[in-house]
């Protein structure tokens, strides 16, 4: 019979008789061809592997309701779904609650199409007083900040008004 070993939430190893297998993960899918006497390892493109080092994934975010004018739901930036985006509106700001103070070395932001706006990151231990951690830099759709600290809250501040077609696909905290 067919044997399957789940490596993580995106990758599976298959062995057994010759067959084609459709693999689905996190709303995405792929087809793998199994050959007798061989192990076939297949990763579903676009699916996130677990465990992950992203401390922001699935966390509580603010604001939640009511949202400022022009802002969409910030949870879309930490839901792990590449088909959802956070639209910050003019000078938007979102805060991720990491649940406890956690060591942070890097913050990443990945944007959809369009011009990527200027961004900065702030850290807080109590959710009231914030300190600047720095500006995200880089080229293309991804921006990164190398930082050090152990905050509970990580805030992302967007400067200006991004184009209507531009949204934050992913905010990751490592």
**Domain ranges in the chain?**
3-43, 60-173
pTM comes to: 0.76
The whole-angstrom separation of Cα 32 and Cα 163 is: 39
The DSSP bridge partners found for residue 6 are 12
The whole-angstrom separation of Cα 8 and Cα 139 is: 30
The whole-angstrom separation of Cα 155 and Cα 139 is: 21
- Exposure class string for 105-144: b at 16+ Cβ within 10 A, else e: eebbbbbbeeebbebbbbbbeeeeebeebeebeeeebebe
pLDDT in tens, the chain (174 residues): 999 999 888 899 999 999 999 999 888 899 999 999 999 999 998 887 777 789 999 999 999 889 999 999 999 999 988 889 999 999 999 999 999 999 999 999 999 987 899 999 999 999 999 999 999 999 999 999 999 999 999 999 999 888 888 899 999 999
DSSP state, residue 118: P
**CATH superfamily label, 60-173:** Galactose-binding domain-like (2.60.120.260)
């Amino acid at each position: 019979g067919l044997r399957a070993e789940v490596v993580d939430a995106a990758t599976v190893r298959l062995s057994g008789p010759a067959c084609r297998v459709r693999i689905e993960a996190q709303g995405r899918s792929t087809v793998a061809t199994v050959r007798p006497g061989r192990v076939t390892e297949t990763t579903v493109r676009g699916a996130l592997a677990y465990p992950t080092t992203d401390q922001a994934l699935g966390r509580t975010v603010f604001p939640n309701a009511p949202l400022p004018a022009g802002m969409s739901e910030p949870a879309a930036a930490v839901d792990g779904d590449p088909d959802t985006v956070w639209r910050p509106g003019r000078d938007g700001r979102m805060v991720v609650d990491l649940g406890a103070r956690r060591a942070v070395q890097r913050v990443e932001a990945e944007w959809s199409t369009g011009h990527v706006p200027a961004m900065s990151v702030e850290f807080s231990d109590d959710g009231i007083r914030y300190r600047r951690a720095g500006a995200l830099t880089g080229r293309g759709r991804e921006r990164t900040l190398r930082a050090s600290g152990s905050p509970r809250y990580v805030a992302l501040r967007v400067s200006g008004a991004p184009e209507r077609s531009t949204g934050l696909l992913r905010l990751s905290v490592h």
